[in-house]
Amino acid sequence: MTWHVMLEVVRDGPVPLGAQIADQVRHQVERGLLKPHTRLPSSRQLAQDLRVSRSVVVEAYEKLTGEGLLESVRGSGTRVAAHADTRIRKPVVLVDRAIPPVRFNLLPGTPNPVTFPHREWGASYLRALESTRWQGLGYPPLLGLDQLRTELVAYLGRVRGVLGSPDDTMVTGGFAHALGLVCAALRELGIDRLAVEDPSHDRQRQFIEENDIRTVAVPVGPEGLEIEPLYASGVRVVLVTPSHQFPLGVPMSPQRREELVRWARDIDGWIIEDDYDGGLWLEQRCRHLALQPTGPDRVIYAGTASKLLAPGLRLGWMVLPPELTAVMERVRVRRDLGCDGLMQLAFADFLRSGLLDGHLRKMRTRYRSQHGRLMRAVERYLPVATLVGPVAGLHVFAALPAGLDEEALVTQALQLSVLVKGGRVFHDRPHTARPGLVLGYTALGESGIEEAVRRIGQAYERQPGGVRRAS
C-alpha cells in the first residue's frame, strides 16, 4: 500500500532537507492535520516522492520519533504517535447543567441498531455492487433508479394500499429531505402556509418554518385532524400522520379521511401524508392502510426507511399526485443531484427478495412483546396514566392527569436514570396542553422497560399530590 502525505521541500534553500521534512510533519501533527495513528509513507516511498535521498527521510523520521511525535512499529511502518494530539489544545465545552448518567432510554423514534438485519442488508448491497456496471455509480436520475421505483410501487401497493406508478415516485434521503423538497415546491406554487397537526413533531415544525413556510396548528381530536378549523384556517396544504398520529398514536377514522380528501378537493389543496412508521402495525386489527388511496390525486404520500430499518440509511420515498411530479423534479434539480445509487440498488434488491417483509415480521414479534410488557408495567406502576391509540409503531402515548407538572416528572425521572420525553413539547401551546409522556420502547429489553416504568412510577409518587400506585 502506498500512503501519501502533503509534504514539499525547497532545494538549495537555507534549511536542510531533513529539517524541512521534520518541521512540516511536526506542524501538521500540531495543527491536527495528521491525526494520531496515521500511517506515514515508508522512507523509501517518501524519498522517491520528494526526490531526496532515503537517508534524509530516515533522519527526519528518527528525529520526530525521538521527540515522541512519531512511532515506528515493526512490520507496520511509521505512524503518528497515539498520544500526539495531547499537545493540541482543544476548546473546552462547558455544560451548564450536570445531566446524570442515563440507564433507561425511553426516547421515541428509532429502531434499536442491534436489530438491524446486517447480514441480509449486506447480501443485498453486495448483489447490488456485483450487478451494476455503471447505473449505481453514475449520477442517478432525480426521481430515483427505475429498479427501486418499480419495487417501491409494488411494495407500497401490497402493504400500504398506495396507488401510483413508478413515473410519479421519487426516492429521497428520508422524510426530512422529502419535506424540504415539498416546501420548496409549495413556494414555487405561491403557497407560503402549511397546516400541521396539533400536537405534532416539534422539530418538524421548526424545519418547515426554516424552509420559509409558516405553520398553522390545527387540533387533533379522537378521530384525527379536526376538519372545521382546517377550513377556517384558509390554508391550502396540510401535513398529517393518518395511520399513527405522531405523537398521540390515534389513527384517522375512515370518515375523517373522506372528509379530509373532500376538503382538499373543495379548495384545490394538497395533503402531505407522513407515513413514518407505515406497516408497523403490531396487531391484525389495527392494520391501517395509507390515506393516499382515498385521494391519490390530492395526497403527496411520503414514507421512510428510518423506522422500518435505520435512520442512518437516509432513505425515503414519495408517491406524488401526477400533477405535482414535474414541479418536484424542477425544484430538485436546483437542490441536489439525486440519492446514492448503490444504496438504491441495494434497497431494490432488499424489497424484491422479500427481505424487508421478513425483517418486519421479526420486528413485529419483538415489538409486540415489548409493547405488551410496557402496557403491563404502566398498569402496575403508573395506573393514573391512560394509554392512547392502537398497538402500533415504536412508541406509546401515555396521557396523565390534568394539573400534573409534566416537566417536574420528567426531571425527577431523569434523576432516577430514566430518559423520557414529555408530551407537551409537541403542542402548539405547551402550557395549556394536558400532560403526558411519549414512551419509546425499542432501546430497552423487556426487563429494562419494566424497570424504567417502575422508576417513572416512583418519580410520579414524588410529585405533589402523586397518589400511591396500585400494588
Per CB under 6 A, residues contacting ligand PLP are 109, 174-176, 201, 241, 246, 274, 276, 304, 306, 311, 316
Least spacing, CB of residue 76 vs ligand PLP, in Å = 40
Least spacing, CB of residue 59 vs ligand PLP, in Å = 54
Q: Are 398 and 378 in contact (CB under 8 A)?
A: yes
Least spacing, CB of residue 318 vs ligand PLP, in Å = 11
Task: Between 112 and 241, name the residue whose CB sits nearer to ligand PLP.
Answer: 241
Task: Between 164 and 440, name the residue whose CB sits nearer to ligand PLP.
Answer: 440
Chain centroid to CA 237: 24
Least spacing, CB of residue 175 vs ligand PLP, in Å = 3
Task: Between 172 and 325, name the residue whose CB sits nearer to ligand PLP.
Answer: 172
Task: Between 47 and 351, name the residue whose CB sits nearer to ligand PLP.
Answer: 351
Q: Can you tell me the distance from the alpha carbon of 455 to that of 273, in angstroms, rounded to the nearest whole number? A: 36
Q: Can you tell me the distance from the alpha carbon of 147 to that of 142, in angstroms, rounded to the nearest whole number? A: 13
Q: Can you tell me the distance from the alpha carbon of 383 to that of 386, in angstroms, rounded to the nearest whole number? A: 8
37, 79, 284, 345 from 74: Cα distances, Å: 14, 11, 62, 43
Least spacing, CB of residue 302 vs ligand PLP, in Å = 8
Q: Which amino acid is at 195?
A: A
**Bridge-partner residues for 302, per DSSP?**
274, 318
Least spacing, CB of residue 189 vs ligand PLP, in Å = 23
Task: Between 245 and 458, name the residue whose CB sits nearer to ligand PLP.
Answer: 245
Task: Between 172 and 458, name the residue whose CB sits nearer to ligand PLP.
Answer: 172
Least spacing, CB of residue 336 vs ligand PLP, in Å = 15
User: Which are the contacts of 28, defined by CB distance < 8 A and separation ≥ 6?
Assistant: 5, 6, 34
Q: Give the count of alpha carbons within 13 A of 151, CB side only.
A: 20
Sign, CA dihedral 161-166-172-176, equals negative
Least spacing, CB of residue 268 vs ligand PLP, in Å = 26
Task: Between 243 and 412, name the residue whose CB sits nearer to ligand PLP.
Answer: 243
Task: Between 316 and 436, name the residue whose CB sits nearer to ligand PLP.
Answer: 316
Tell me which residue has cell 385532524: 225
Q: Are 367 and 441 in contact (CB under 8 A)?
A: yes
Task: Between 17 and 171, name the residue whose CB sits nearer to ligand PLP.
Answer: 171
Q: Which amino acid is at 379?
A: E
Cell for 28? 501538521
- Strands of 436-440's sheet, edge to edge? 386-388, 395-399, 436-440, 421-422
Task: Between 166 and 247, name the residue whose CB sits nearer to ligand PLP.
Answer: 247
Least spacing, CB of residue 33 vs ligand PLP, in Å = 33
Cell for 291? 390515506
Q: Can you tell me the distance from the alpha carbon of 153 to that of 352, in angstroms, rounded to the nearest whole number? A: 11
Least spacing, CB of residue 392 vs ligand PLP, in Å = 13
Q: Which amino acid is at 117?
A: P
Strand ranges inside 222-281, DSSP E: 224-225, 237-240, 270-274
User: What are the φ/ψ torsions at residue 11 (nearest 5 degrees)?
Assistant: -80, 155
Q: Can you tell me the distance from the alpha carbon of 210 to that of 190, in angstroms, rounded to the nearest whole number? A: 17
Task: Between 109 and 140, name the residue whose CB sits nearer to ligand PLP.
Answer: 109
Least spacing, CB of residue 195 vs ligand PLP, in Å = 15
Chain centroid to CA 329: 24
